[in-house]
Structure 1
């Protein structure tokens, strides 16, 4: 038989257990006691893990012995003893669980070490104070068991102190704050230059935990809560109040039905309780319907806000972002984040309400049937949280692999669809199908592992839930047998207890799904975190002449070491017609992107009419500078709307005139719909040359001061090419025109030809005839400008 400890000793032991438990569960808030980040390093963690596991089993044995002795006496244990032993069992379990987490490589914080020392010191004091059990009043076997438990407890505490105290003494004066986390590593995927697909678990590790990561998701708050919209805010608050009222009335309804049974058992009138129960049921039904109507409207508004807001954010990103981002990844990021946007509703209207219902139900049960129900719930909730924590971590690891494989699958699908012509011509369609099947098979295998992980941890949760429910029912049956509970109490307990653990189970089961939503939304979060760097408030571009000057301009792409453009300087006079030629990879297209502000130079400045373009308002800049890309994009709308992309308020006659100069007018009017003909997705119903001429029409309509062309006639036949370029030069007589081309024949009609070499270096510069003459004089082996060679 165990010795009954005095209440003050039980209280001290319980407080120590609670202190150790708190420092294990919430280490960061309690760090301030001894200085944030102070830690001990020279400890053997494996030895400490073994000792705390031993101490956990010792406390568990003491607790079960306490319960067994009470049951043998047909009574309940002392609440002080039950509370203190519960705190000690849970404290040692949580610390053993933290030490056993092999992913946690950080040293032990000083506050945890001190709390352990305090606990061990108190336990040694208790053993010395009470002495080893013995004497003639206790059965020899019980006495020996108690003595063995106390000896093992004392020995374990001594070994823990011997492990920790020297480390505390050695490190206390020299402990310092841990070094700050290094910057986040870039994504391991070389193609993911913007790190949108970064491993979220690596991000958690770098940020120092899940809470710093969760704070980053605040960028979604504007789409979750209707800020600045009073009507929708009223709907939101009203919905919340309705749910709170529903929880209260639902609990009152269960109490009313329980009172009916009590009244029937005692022969009292049941009509009053029955009317009250029916009224509460009717109120709950009405509240649920009104709540459903309000929440439906909130969801629709949130979906609209998210779709338009995110689309606007992505479109407003700077050209560098759009030149590096994969449209497939962006589309998938937006689609994957849709579930996360509903998370706020889930937290407020489901999980928060569930937690509130759990607290209300638990408080009511404990107030009616005593604190032993609280002890049962403490055990069950603690073990459930530990299992859920481990399960969430494993599930997050498996989900990250699934997410990466889904991205690979989508990339493979998009490549197959967009490259169908190449696959068909090369007779590789079956090969591509086999490759896609392999990618999909790997995805399915990983999803199978993810489902297995989820089901295994659900089984562990269900086992813990079963033990808690069984313990609770056993306790209530004991109280009923002792006459401390009525039939109504049993009915109320059965209903509320089942609802309580149903809510806890629902809450713990949805946490992995919430983590999945969090991981799904991570790529879009990284997009939303980026600033919309498109400048809209700079100075106005006073482009009267159109001169262009580059001073010591260099540019290096992210994740590359070699600059594409290396310290390039050049000057182009107003109204000049300049052709840039050179081998592939010499930075010609990159140079045009720098001039168009798609990207910013790594070093150097670019001036138009003496103004630094980096300080120019972007709307003013694009009014004066026009570019025709190498591959024009055609929108899925009418021909008229596509041409008007050059000038939104252009009249029909202006559009017709621009199309005539672009040699596309006759082709358009020959179609049944004329200018109202739909061009299809990316101009699928028009040829490549026709799409290039549509782009020329936009340029003619815009009438910029500086015109930049990137391989503008690559899809045109020679005759149309010469006509369009002739119209271009005639139309823009006083406009600066810069063209990048491999077609040397085009260069003949330009005032100046610049041959670029590696690193964007100027190799040759002059008129077409001057360079030919110079080349002939030098007898160079280069054939870049020899007559008869039409393509560089």
Structure 2
């Protein structure tokens, strides 16, 4: 049996177990670096899982028998036997865990299969060799139980070989053909065109694992590490060196206090050790304070860099992105990702330092008290890591569901607040409260499952920790009883062991939090990955007279099959006043957005003064100065009236602002307020009416004086009298300016040079002056509801 084998045989078995363990815990991408990481596909996973579990229990039984016999003799087991059985127990356990992981699409790879074969072959050789008469130098195995265990072990190894050898032979002659990476599907939510709400675990599956996903988070690196900033880089490096020094001095401090007890126990002088311990404590206190000051500055700088950088990135995105993005989703994505930015600090200053402290403490304990402590730590760390891995996976699944329900809850909340008027008018406030209560209840239920999952895995970790602590203390008490350890050793062990497992516990507790932060940051990562959909060559617009030409222009919105604008061609002369009318959904507003370069046409070209605007830089100052657009619903910033009007021309004088507001028929309304032009307009202009906000937008336009004016339902909130006055000022102000207006008000079209009636797909149904179209209709004896006199709204 294993207990009685020669030491060199035990060493070979142990090394083989270590090899199998290493291949089990090595990530597949690392295995593939050696060219032997391809999959073994024609094996029965369930059968192999059962066989490895059987081997695990066999080796565990042998190990416990080994410990029991040593305890009965009041001694320690053979270190060679303990090492080999420990390696084999952990190796078979980790391989069973890998085979049982159904998320791993191919847990059987050539490296692992070869290591399994080697393990089984050595075990069969040892069983046969020790069972042959005269074939062993150690006493024969007399115990029937041991013989039965050997038979079971041999049978299990044979069955594993029969399972994997044919698969290895069949796959060795097959060229490794990595499966093509599946393109990421859009979010399962049709409304989530930008995939901000995509299931991150589904993304992991698409990418082929966590490592490819982690590489995508490199877009955050510019906010995590101060690239190109020497002062902050020096602070960062200094903080790291301070933490390393602190770890070393903390261990030395524990050794110094232990030496005080040993000196006191032997009646020696304790002053030297006492002074050393106090000095180390003082140094540690100073290092912690300096580190805290440096890290606080690093965190503040990172927060500033993240806030300004992400805000600049989002505002710099093209109009297509902003037309599809939900501001609530964007705000939540930024807020959720704030914790992730601290991840680099956590890894370097917390987890890396913790790991370094664990290695130093473990090395010191093993050097003082022998390799048996290493065996105890190997068991505890392995089982803790497996429990943590499984717990993290389950927690990630539960957290993804919680995250989705939080998004649903926030959307429901926002809909209720923004749509309060509709709810009140329809007497549906109680109904909306009930709906919100249902969404919140579902969220609470899922959070309860998440908490239960976390607590269950914490319990498993605590049980493993208890077993490790019990084993470690039992070993140290045995050494003390044998006279191999002093009182100082016991105190040192207690201190270092407690610190060691406190650090391991901290690591296992924070890893799930890191996964949560990763999942939280995924939506913002997808935003930062995006590039502008408006491609340009960086040319500048040379706008002269303001002509506009569209040649075979088509456009289809994402997630739609039917084009909104379908092969439209038209030409507008400089200085023309053109009204676009037609039913809803005929592409009128879309056409204006294409001209403004909110998005690019699917096909065709748009020319301003003969220049293809797709070649114009999207941030062209001349383009935005020469082409001005007034949206149907203007946005008013929460600042003064003066600053809002100056959005049209940042360097405008006060007199220019006053003149623009007079043309927009809003000057008298402004000066009638107590603050005049310094009055705050409130959140989205809440202190002004809808018509007043439209006139503020007109004032911006008058102040800007563009060469091409584009208006989208510009007078929808104005009363008829103000509407005619503002439009009259518009026509008079922009006599030589090209004006294009989208409207449902046919009365407005009477004053324009040209009226274009659009039909389905943006097709031009009628084109001409208002009078020409009326005359044409009269001649054809047809009726056009769009142009009938007396019908003021289309």
Range class of TM-score, shorter chain: over 0.9
Matched residues in 1 for 2:21 and 2:648: separation? 68
Indicate which of 665, 669, 681 corresponds to 1:667: 669
Q: Secondary structure at the match of 2:2?
A: coil
Q: What are the Cα deviations for residues 604-662 of structure 1, in whole angstroms up to 9, with x where unaligned?
A: 11110111111112343111100000100000000000000000000001001111111
Corresponding residue to 2:729 among 721, 727, 730? 727
Which piece of structure 1 moves more, 99-108 or 653-662? 99-108
For residue 104 of structure 1, report the CA deviation from its aligned partner.
2.3
SS at match of 2:558: coil
Unmatched runs of 5 consecutive residues or more in structure 1: none
Residues 589 and 445 (structure 1), Cα distance of their counterparts in 2 relative to 1, 3 Å cut: same
Whether the aligned pair in 1 keeps the contact of 2:141 and 2:147 (CA below 8 Å) is no
CA distance in 1, matches of 2:163, 2:752: 83
Deviation at 1:578, TM superposition (A): 0.8
Query: 1-side partners of 2:390 and 2:450: how far apart?
Result: 14
- Give the conservation status (yes or no) of the 8 Å contact 1:39–1:110: yes
1:7 positional shift: 2.8
Q: 1:619 to 1:98 in 2, by over 3 A?
A: closer
**24-33 or 710-719: bigger deviation:** 24-33
Query: Contact 1:133–1:146 at 8 Å: present in 2 too?
Result: no
Question: Take 1:116 and 1:289, find their aligned partners in 2: how far apart are those partners?
Answer: 52
Residue pair 1:546, 1:736 contacting (<8 A) in 2 also = yes
Offset of residue 492 of structure 1 = 0.2
Structure 2: how far apart are the matches of 1:501 and 1:159? 39
* Deviation, structure 1 residue 137: 13
Change (3 A) 1:533 1:33: closer
1:657 to 659, 666, 670: 659
Distance 2:504 2:784 in 1: 78
1:49 paired residue number: 49
Report which stretch shifted further, 377-386 or 417-426.
Answer: 417-426
SS in 2 for 1:337: helix
Q: Deviations over 1:268-289 (max 9, x none)?
A: 1011101111111111111111
Q: 1:675 to 1:236 in 2, by over 3 A?
A: same
Unaligned runs of 5+ in 2: none
Map Cα deviations across residues 314-348 of structure 1 (whole Å, 9 max, x no partner): 10111110000000000011111111111111111
Distance change in 2, residues 1:317/1:4 (3 Å): same
What's the CA shift string for 1:544-580, capped at 9, x where partnerless?
1111111111111111111111111111111111111
Asked if the contact 2:665–2:722 (Cα under 8 Å) also holds between the matched residues in 1, the reply is yes
Q: 1:39 is paired with a residue of what secondary structure?
A: coil
- Give the CA deviation at 1:226: 1.6
8 A Cα contact 1:753 1:768, kept in partner: yes
CA distance in 2, matches of 1:623, 1:261: 81
Residues matched between the structures, number: 792
Distance change >3 Å, CA 259–CA 133, structure 1 → 2: farther
Deviation at 1:175, TM superposition (A): 4.5
Deviations 1:696-749 (A, max 9, x none): 000000001111000000001111111111111111111111111111111111
Cα offset, 1:34, TM superposition:
6.6
Indicate conservation of the 8 Å contact 1:132/1:147, yes or no: no
Query: 1:108 offset after TM fit, Å?
Result: 2.0
C-alpha deviations, 1:151-190, integer Å up to 9, x for none?
A: 0000000011111111222222125223122111111111
User: Against the structure 1 CA distance between its residues 143 and 25, is the aligned structure 2 distance closer, same or farther, given a 3 Å change threshold?
Assistant: same
Larger mean CA deviation between 105-114 and 705-714 belongs to 105-114
**Residue deviations 1:112-157, cap 9 Å, x none?**
1111111111111111111169999999996101110110000000
1: CA distance, partners of 2:69 / 2:51: 27
TM-score between both structures, scaled by the size of structure 2: 0.97
User: What's the CA shift for 1:777?
Assistant: 2.5
The offset of 1:531, in angstroms, is 2.1
Kept in 2, the 8 Å contact 1:239–1:294? The answer is yes
Q: Secondary structure at the match of 1:714?
A: coil
Which of 131-140 and 317-326 deviates more?
131-140
Please report how far the alpha carbon of residue 27 of structure 1 lies from its aligned counterpart in structure 2 after TM superposition.
4.0
Q: Deviations over 1:648-690 (max 9, x none)?
A: 0000010011111111111111111111111000000001000
CA distance in 2, matches of 1:498, 1:490: 12
Q: Could you tell me whether the CA contact under 8 Å between 2:550 and 2:568 is conserved in 1? A: yes
Q: Residues 136, 774 of structure 1: CA spacing in aligned structure 2 closer, same or farther, 3 A cutoff?
A: closer
Q: Is residue 553–residue 601 contact of structure 1 (8 Å, CA) maintained in 2? A: yes
Over 3 Å counting, the alpha-carbon distance change for 1:136 and 1:221 in structure 2 is: closer
How far residue 780 of structure 1 moved from its aligned partner, in angstroms, is 2.7
- CA drift at 1:12: 2.0
Contact kept in structure 2, 1:134 and 1:143, CA below 8 Å = no
For the residues of structure 2 that align with 1:352 and 1:2, how far apart are their CA atoms? 38
Moved more, 688-697 or 370-379: 370-379
- Tell me, yes or no, if the aligned pair for 1:579 and 1:741 is still in contact at 8 Å: yes
Matching residue of 2:408: 408
Shift of 1:533: 5.6
> Are the counterparts in 1 of residues 184 and 203 from structure 2 also a CA contact under 8 Å?
yes
Shift >4 Å, 4+ stretches? 132-142, 532-537
Residues 401 and 172 (structure 1 numbering): CA distance in 2 closer, same or farther, change over 3 Å? Answer: same
2:564 paired residue number = 564
> CA offset at residue 538 of structure 1?
1.5
TM (normalized to structure 1)? 0.97
Q: Is contact 2:4–2:139 with CA below 8 Å preserved after alignment? A: no
- SS of structure 1 residue aligned to 2:604: strand
Structure 1 counterpart of 2:538: 538
How far off is 1:421 after superposition? Answer: 1.4
Change (3 A) 1:30 1:283: closer
Contact 1:40–1:172 under 8 Å retained in 2: no
